[in-house]
Amino acid sequence: MVDSLLNFLHKPKWKRHYRWRRAVWNTLNRVGLTGLHSLPLNKRWIEIHRREMPFKLLEPGLVGFRIVQISDLHYSPVVWKRYMEQMLGWVHDLEPDLVVVTGDLITGGYRYAPRIAELLAKLKPPHGVVCTFGNHDYSMYGRKQLIEGMRRADYLEKCLMEKGLIVLRNQVLEIAPLRRMGKTTGEGTEPSDKLPTSDRTINPLVIVGLDDEWSGAIDAQKAFTQVNNNCPILCLNHNPANCMELMQYPWQWMLAGHTHGRQTGDHRVAKRFSGRREYTHGYYAVNGRHLYVNRGLSYGQRLKHWCRPEVTVFRLTQEM
């Protein structure tokens, strides 16, 4: 009995237990016992969030295209391999056309770069896995140790690309409607500058992957000079704090992470940061555009019920 309980706590079967966990949580909420959410059993309770992603100028061949966003994996000594394997297995079962990872793939030493690449390579969406970087992918010290940070990020990129994953660091990827019929390379979709002219269509889905802001590696000007403004444009940007600064560029949707669903004034981070985040979790309409902030997959420091780890599934639609 005890062994079975311990095994469940360490290796929960998330799909089987979602309904009863939700029922237990709602019951605890009614009687004022929401503090039990801080237990390990609940901190790792994943939410699969589904929503439509409307685009102007979207080609009919891309309607229904499914993008799964994951973020802030923070693979490290405190985020265990078996947890990541279960979560990524669930992502695989969602049968996405494309997976995007919006930064903070690792937190730790160099040895975690090839390990996360190996785990992500097990995902096999038809259009590949697109990765952008966050502050922890450069180390935890921002611009103070830029040389070391660049060395770490370059090594992570090398490991990911060796496994056939797509890395965008102020770069652009085009997804053409005709490629949904299975016209892909053996290792995912190629960047647009490698596609033959005959394979291009009028309005591909343009994915702009920005590099990390905290380390100073972001270069939006460079990234968006490669973009055709007449196409539907999706921007991947780890930290949503600079959303307003990026309004000068023609993206329609922005996917971000970084926050883990928290205000900077919440819980233990209050001593390290000042001020409060404007965009913390979920969907925001910003000056007629769309911003979505994913709460991430790692399970540390999640004491609030709205901070549960998250996988987001987007279905592309035409915006009228």
The number of domains in the chain is 2
Does pLDDT of 92 surpass 60?
yes
Sheet strand arrangement including 282-286: 171-175, 205-209, 233-236, 253-256, 289-293, 282-286
Phi first, then psi: give them for residue 250, nearest 5 degrees: -90, 40
Q: What is the per-residue pLDDT for 153?
A: 95
Same structural domain, 92 and 146: yes
Same structural domain, 186 and 307: yes
Same structural domain, 41 and 116: no
Same structural domain, 7 and 62: no
Extract the tokens encoding 176. 């053409």
Q: Is the dihedral of CA 125, 127, 133, 138 positive or negative?
A: positive
Same structural domain, 163 and 249: yes
pLDDT, tens digit (0-9, with 9 covering 90-100), for 226-246: 898 899 999 999 999 999 999
Same structural domain, 64 and 156: yes
pLDDT band at 178 (very low <50, low <70, confident <90, very high): low
pLDDT, tens digit (0-9, with 9 covering 90-100), for 129-175: 999 999 999 987 666 777 888 999 999 999 999 999 999 999 999 99
Q: What mean pLDDT comes out for the span 112-122?
A: 97
Residue 287 structural domain: 47-318
Same structural domain, 273 and 142: yes
Same structural domain, 83 and 224: yes
Same structural domain, 67 and 124: yes
